[in-house]
Amino acid sequence: MITERTGLPLSIGISAANTHDSQGLEPLVRGIPPIRSRRGPRQRRPAKLHGDKGYGYEHLRRWLRARNIVPRIARRGIESSQRLGRHRWTVERTVAWLAGCRRLHRRYERKAEHFLAFAGIAAALICYRRLA
């Protein structure tokens, strides 16, 4: 899941339990819809992306830079992930909001499309409650 600064979900995806998180970064960034602006043209992508050490691969950093997104990802063995704590809590809070939806707490659906649809509905409800 990719969220904005205040914790509203921008893009949601699901994957198998045995796949690494870094493999889902590119589809999630591609899935971010255009951001509307009152002035000027629509922004197509965010300016920065914060991530933990699980996303700290050089090919992902190059891919993000090629799309004019500044990667703020802690490097393994060099930087501590403690600095990400001030940004990470918003994502953790949004995940907790999603976990509050009883249907998403445990995966009851056999098909991934159904589970993704329920996750999308839950994200829409989170956005509605937050903006209302």
Give 22-64 pLDDT, tens digit per residue: 888 888 888 887 777 677 776 667 788 888 788 888 999 999 9
With tokens 């969220």, the residue in question is 3
Is residue 27 within 8 Å of residue 115, measured between CB atoms?
no
Please, which residues bridge with residue 3 across strands? 9
Packing angle between helix 112-131 and helix 85-99, nearest 10 degrees?
A: 110
Taking the C-alpha atoms of residue 107 and residue 43, their distance in angstroms, rounded to an integer, is: 35
64 or 82, higher pLDDT: 64
Amino acid at the residue 28 = L
E strand or H helix that includes residue 10: strand 9-11
CB neighbours (10 Å) of residue 114?
13
* Whether the predicted pLDDT of 128 surpasses 70: yes
Closest to 95 (Cα-Cα) out of 45, 21, 23? 21
What is each CA distance from 68 to 8, 64, 82, 106, in whole angstroms? 22, 6, 25, 37
**Verdict on whether the full-model pTM lies above 0.75:** no
Q: What is the pLDDT of residue 79?
A: 64
